[in-house]
Structure 1
Amino acid sequence: MSLAIPAMARWLVRQEAGSIPPRIRRIALHSLIDTLGVISAGGRTRVAAHARLLVQGDGAAGTCGLAGSDQRTQARHAALVNAVAAHALDFDDNCYAGFVHGSAVIVPAALAVAQQIDADGQALLTALVVGAECQYTLGLASDNRLYRRGWWSSGILGPIGACAAAAWLLRLDAQQAAHALGLAAASAAGIKAGFGTDAKALLAGRAAEAGVMAAWLAQAGATGPIDAFEHRHGVAHLFNDDHFDGSVFSALGQRWTLEDPGLDVKRIPVCLSSHAAVDVVVELIAAHGVRSEEILAIRCDVPPIVIANLIHDRPQTPQQAQFSMPFAIAAAVLHGGPRLQDLEAARLAQADMIALMARVSMCSSTQWQNPARQQQAPEGAEVCIQLSDGRQLHGRRDAPRGAAREPLTPEQRREKFLECLRYGGVDEHIANERLAQLEGMEALTGVRTLFPFST
């Protein structure tokens, strides 16, 4: 069986815009629009400001846009800053092929290189597909084990997706692309201990930057370990209990992971592990006309991975709140959220928020010990709301709204994008103009005008 990295390299260098089905390109376009919106909102966060200070201190000018700034910089710096912004609010998409945040890393890397070389819109979309298919196929090969072990898969697999997209844009040959991917794999890093801190967003930035650097270095002649996944000291052995199914790479370009398992696009800006439970609560409250003061308790029965991810029962910071089931549920009940405006320290300190969070709990029943059940509902939830009049309301969701199996409507996608740009300080008129520009991506002759969004 051939090695994973050379197989990916041979596949990616053969791709052209016409080799990718229109339906897959549409998925990539939706991902691009969603991610650029999230980047715009994330550009106003404290952690994105830290990243900007880091690269602006370098003083290197360039042609690539920076989130939260009108300045332009070099590709590696833009990839870093924009990936930090893309993940800062945990509002970016997810793929269960790897349990990975792919677009937050791949889009900034591809956009940065495309802006540096002044590529057109069609090329940018093709690069996004190439990066996504390489990264998510690796996710399939790993069978999500590294995530369950406590590694942060976006930091481990993200450099590969970023590198593949950059390698395609730079038109590396198969040998150069293999060395680039080997360099990217050698830089893999990420632990879930960083959840609820700046580390998580910064690691997304690092993954995007690492992928871009690997592609540039390979173009210049640098070499990397092309057996980085199968080597006795490689990724599969060190991170994944020696489990690695290399057979999946034969399906590159036949099974499109952007379609199957597809992307889960977030409706609310918190960890996806809370979304199904939030949707159940919102639906039960709407159906039964429940008022917050009637609620005695809300119990969420969820898979073990949800409990492992949502570690902050009493969050003290907005970042901790993004990994808190009590916060997500309380914000949904009190404010119809969580929305971007809810991720503020003042909201966390409100008496009604604190009181309601104390009534939310999680458990994991024996149903989640069934592998088939976990496969069906990897972050699902069964919820019971206990009311003061003695009623108990029950609901269940295997997947939230926005999941690949229940996608957001075009209007919901549009409203999310505009909401993100408003939060990022962009004028409504300009936001609508930028959305129209993005929707016409395939006809763009150059992508340097795409980003940053002018305020």
Structure 2
Amino acid sequence: MTVTFDQFAANLTYTDIPQDVLAILRRSFTDTMGVAAVGSTTSMSGLARKAALAVFGTGTAGSSRMLMDGRSVSPAGAAMAGAFLVDSIDAHDGVTPCQGHAGSAVFPALIAMAQSRGKPMSGAEFATYLAVAYEVCYRAGETQHATCEDYHTSGAWTSVGIATSGARMLNCDPEAIRHAAGIGEYHGPRSQMMRCIDFPTNVRDGVGWGAPSGVTAAYLASEGFTGAPALTCEGAGSETFWQDLGQGWRITDYTHYKAYPCCRWSHAAIDSVSYLIAEHGLTHDMIKSVEIRTFHYATRLAGQEPANLDEFTYAIAFPVAAMIVRGQVGVAELTPEALRDPDILRISRATKLIDDDHFTEISRHKRWAQVTLVLKGGRRIEDIPRTPRGDADLPLSDAEISSKFHLLADPVLGSSRANEIEQLSGQFDKLSATDLQRLFTLCTDAT
């Protein structure tokens, strides 16, 4: 029997959530907070937090501390600031069929609402809200991509999942949850993803406005404001994506993790050059040029000479060149000094992106690329076609996730605070209300 999304949201209990889903939520909690830590150092996140303080003062909904900041604003303000903060470093979890990201919006929004609720919340309760938000986000995102011609950012469909889960947190009945989802969908940002890829700026993946839109929708619905139906949840053409709700879980099928802090469309090529360099004992000074066959959207990343972090985020050529020259694409490669590295720039300028029709056709649930290195003597070394590590069928190990977390978090938070966040987030659903509050405090204290 098909369960409607509002019934699913209203009635899901912690014991209904499969263990593999809980394992992913734990991993995403840890991974997202590592990204948030380094995100707190970016100018983009600083501007978002300054704006939140200016326009999102606390009110009768209560106050919430902004992630990695410590200062209090309204729940919507904390959701906005936190989502921009996480999104400022493109290293958070994602969902390939939706061509976007849920965690960068869901965690800031639900942590903000949990703080302002005014009564204790156990880890099991918070896990239930997260499960609702992620699952509704993914299915709404799938529906939107199948029924809309334009490619909208993640903010468009994360606003629906956050509104649905937020309404559940506010004790709304199924009908009010329907209205929350509809309000979130209607007012969520239908922002054009390819515009930000063609012209990279701070607007990024739209979650900075999707998160507060979802939070605001939940509070509106709890007061009786109407907005149903959400077409991505119950409109024409949506049926296929909801028929197994409550039985199958998109969270386990689709969630992926990033090995590198840049757009996932570049990751297959980065993995490929890493393999070729090691396999053939190459050094960057031996390489004349690079050819990357990939799907159409990825060719628009380009990025031979990124001038700032936004342009680096939506690039292929430069991150690939960084891997060739430095053997890594990490925090050090996000700095202004790295963007001026003459060896990286030489390789990046000599990188050609080839729009491949076959890869465009098959890059639906996967992101394909094939790399050829051209050596200075004329020899061509071609790799096999690859998809990025981190997908469900090519998962990053627990050790890799932990290493990534500490690489991002330790320099900002210190090893002691980072260790405690990792320990608590890795079992957050089993925490008492007191310990969950401790985790929230660690995630919202100033860096």
TM-score normalised over the length of structure 1: 0.89
Cα drift, residue 151 of structure 1: 2.9
Taking a change above 3 Å as real, the CA distance of residues 415 and 454 of structure 1, as seen in their structure-2 partners, is farther
Structure 2 CA distance for aligned equivalents of residues 268 and 64 of structure 1? 30
Give 2:292's aligned residue: 300
Indicate the larger mover: 27-36 or 57-66.
57-66
d(CA) in 1 for partners of 2:181 and 2:85?
24
Does residue 390 in structure 1 map to residue 378 in structure 2? yes
Greater alpha carbon shift after TM alignment, 213-222 vs 117-126: 117-126
CA–CA separation in structure 1 for the residues paired with 2:282 and 2:445: 41
Contact 1:42 1:87 in 2 (8 A): yes
**Is the contact between residue 13 and residue 174 of structure 1 (CA under 8 Å) also seen in structure 2?**
yes
1:197 equivalent in alignment to 2:201: yes
- Size of the aligned set, in residue pairs, is 433
- The Cα offsets for residues 62-103 of structure 1, whole Å up to 9 and x where unpaired, read as 553323412233311111111111111111111023222111
**What secondary structure is seen at the aligned counterpart in 2 of 1:251?**
coil
2:141 maps to 139
- Once the 2 structures are TM-superposed, how far is the Cα of residue 397 of structure 1 from its aligned partner? 4.0
Q: Residues of 1 paired with 2:350 and 2:302: CA distance?
A: 16
What's the CA shift for 1:453?
Answer: 4.8
Partners in 2 of 1:266 and 1:80 — Cα distance?
23
Structure 1 counterpart of 2:242, which letter? F
3-state SS of 1:448 partner: helix
TM-score normalised over the length of structure 2: 0.91
Share of identical aligned residues, percent?
A: 23
Q: How far 1:145 sits from its partner (Å)?
A: 6.2
Q: Deviations over 1:267-324 (max 9, x none)?
A: 100000000000000000011110101001110000112113x143332222101111
RMSD: 2.2
Structure 1 partner of 2:407: 419
1:204-235 deviations in whole A, cap 9, x for unaligned?
1110001011001111111113154499xxxx
Distance 2:147 2:339 in 1: 34
Partner Cα distance (1:230, 1:110) in 2: 20
Verify the 8 A CA contact 1:186 1:225 in the aligned structure 2: no
* Residue 194 of structure 2 is aligned to residue 206 of structure 1: no
Q: Distance in 2 between matches of 1:164 and 1:106?
A: 11
Q: Tell me which amino acid in the other structure corresponds to 1:21.
A: P
1:12-33 Cα deviation digits (max 9, x unpaired): 1010111111111111111121
- The amino acid that maps onto 2:26 is L
Q: Check the 8 A contact 2:141/2:232 in 1, yes or no.
A: no
Question: Of the candidates 251, 270, 278, which is equivalent to residue 258 of structure 1?
Answer: 251
Matched residues in 2 for 1:92 and 1:245: separation?
Answer: 27
Q: What is residue 247 of structure 1 aligned with on the other side?
A: 240
Q: Does 1:350 align with 2:341?
A: yes
| Other-structure match for 2:151 | 151
Task: Provide the secondary structure at the position in 2 that maps to 1:297.
Answer: strand
How far, CA to CA, are the matches of 2:155 and 2:429 in structure 1? 30
Q: Please give the alpha-carbon distance, in whole angstroms, between the structure 2 residues aligned to 1:433 and 1:247.
A: 42
Cross-structure match for 1:291: 283
Change (3 A) 1:154 1:319: same
**1:129 counterpart residue number:** 131
Q: Deviations over 1:393-441 (max 9, x none)?
A: 1113432111221111111111111122124x21112211221121231
Q: Distance in 2 between matches of 1:454 and 1:178?
A: 36
Decide whether the 8 Å contact of 2:144 with 2:157 is kept in 1: no
SS of the residue 2:392 aligns to: coil
Deviation per CA, 1:296-353, whole angstroms, max 9, x where unpaired? 1110000112113x14333222210111111111111122222122112221122222
CA apart distance, 1:52? 0.9
- Counterpart CA distance in 2 for 1:68 and 1:18 is 31
1:166 is aligned to 166
